[in-house]
């Protein structure tokens, strides 16, 4: 259960959390990744699109990295491209299950995804295991997907241990109350607006297509949402079986479950992450002996850019693989 000595240092020309976050996502050069898409029918009569990145001559028993992306992300998010490029380069196979309604097509159900949806995580991992019984499986969750991975590893510890060789959660807001409140103030409100600009139209479109949505969701109120408390109160909580936004945030937070983790799990969180206050990050007293904490001073939210302008985004995948290779 070590508290890892961080080795990430931000370039001098990229000072501050916001710059490190935005540059990594919008400016730094992204690697090219070729995906092969599959559509998996889910147990609840919906579908999940899954993008695979594999070497041309992949060993049938080559390890598989299953990547759960962040809020409104996809296999084309900068961090997903960086991770999948590193995965293929090393001769491993990459799998990116895209959250419902994030693959370019609305899903069939009124439900989409949320930070505590570990049923979906388990189903995806079990499906991969059933298809490739001989391959070691590793998983990486980022941001919202990172909370899912950490929550799954803690709340369903024995199942996770059977399915996974090791896991990593990067920039996971494992205290959702603290993280959601932080996004309501200052510059962080721009992040909330960015997410809501895509989330709200999806909800409104579903209200047009699905009569049962109109019974649960106040369309006029949804249109006026400016923060996650309002959006989660009006949509995420009632549609996904929570009593309120606070009930959702409390029950879906991974932090209280970290002490039960049995599979090797690396938690990488920058202390200046604008999505999670430093005081809310887990400490050694919060986690089991199977959890590694890596908390560099800088990095932003899923940023960690390196190098000269325009910068590189290869630190994260290399850090992740260093952990995985030590667990083989």
Catalytic residues: 143, 273, 301
- How far apart (Å, rounded) are the C-alpha atoms in residues 171 and 179? 11
Q: Where are the alpha helices (DSSP H) in 132-188?
A: 144-155, 157-163, 176-182
- The per-residue b/e assignment along 52-88, b for 16 or more CB within 10 angstroms, e otherwise, is bbbeeebeeebbbbbbbbbbbbbbbbbbbbbbbbbbb
CB 189 within 8 A of CB 294: no
Virtual CA dihedral for 11, 145, 71, 295, nearest 10 degrees? -30
Which of these, 217, 66, 216, lies nearest to 145 by C-alpha position?
Answer: 66
- How far apart (Å, rounded) are the C-alpha atoms in residues 318 and 328? 15
Other C-beta atoms closer than 10 Å to the C-beta of 107 total 20
Total number of residues shown for the chain: 328
CA distances from 35 to 42, 149, 167 (A): 21, 23, 22
- What are φ and ψ of residue 33, in 5° steps? -130, 130
Which of these, 321, 288, 270, 292, lies nearest to 4 by C-alpha position?
Answer: 292
Characterize the bridge pairing of strands 47-53 and 291-294.
Answer: unpaired
DSSP class per residue in 14-48 = S-SHHHHHHIIIIISPPPP---EEEEEEPTTS-EE
- How far apart (Å, rounded) are the C-alpha atoms in residues 271 and 285? 18
């Amino acid at each position: 259960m070590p508290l890892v000595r961080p080795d990430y240092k931000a370039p001098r020309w990229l000072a501050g959390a916001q710059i490190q976050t935005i540059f990594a996502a919008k400016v730094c050069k992204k690697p090219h990744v070729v995906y092969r898409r599959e559509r998996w029918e889910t147990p609840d009569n919906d579908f999940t699109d899954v993008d695979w990145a594999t070497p041309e001559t992949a060993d049938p028993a080559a390890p598989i990295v299953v990547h759960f992306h962040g809020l409104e992300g996809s296999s084309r998010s900068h961090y997903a491209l960086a991770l999948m490029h590193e995965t293929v380069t090393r001769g491993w196979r990459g799998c990116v299950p895209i959250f419902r309604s994030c693959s370019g097509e609305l899903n069939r159900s009124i439900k989409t995804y949320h930070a505590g949806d570990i049923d979906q995580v388990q189903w995806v991992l079990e499906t991969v295991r059933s298809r490739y019984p001989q391959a070691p499986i590793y998983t990486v969750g980022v941001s919202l997907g990172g909370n899912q991975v950490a929550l799954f590893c803690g709340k369903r510890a024995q199942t996770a241990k059977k399915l996974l060789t090791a896991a990593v959660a990067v920039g996971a807001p494992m205290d959702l109350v603290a993280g959601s409140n932080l996004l309501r103030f200052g510059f962080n409100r721009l992040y909330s607006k960015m997410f809501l600009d895509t989330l709200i139209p999806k909800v409104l479109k579903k209200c047009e297509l699905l009569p049962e949505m109109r019974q649960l969701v106040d369309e006029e109120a949804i249109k006026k949402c400016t923060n996650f408390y309002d959006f989660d109160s009006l949509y995420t909580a009632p549609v996904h079986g929570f009593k309120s936004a606070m009930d959702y945030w409390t029950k879906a937070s991974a932090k209280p479950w970290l002490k039960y983790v049995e599979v090797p799990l690396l938690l990488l969180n920058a202390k200046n992450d604008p999505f999670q206050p430093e005081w809310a990050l887990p400490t050694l007293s919060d986690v089991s002996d199977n959890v590694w904490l890596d908390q560099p001073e800088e990095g932003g939210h899923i940023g960690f850019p390196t190098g000269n302008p325009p910068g590189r985004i290869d630190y994260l995948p290399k850090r992740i693989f260093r952990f995985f290779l030590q667990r083989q």
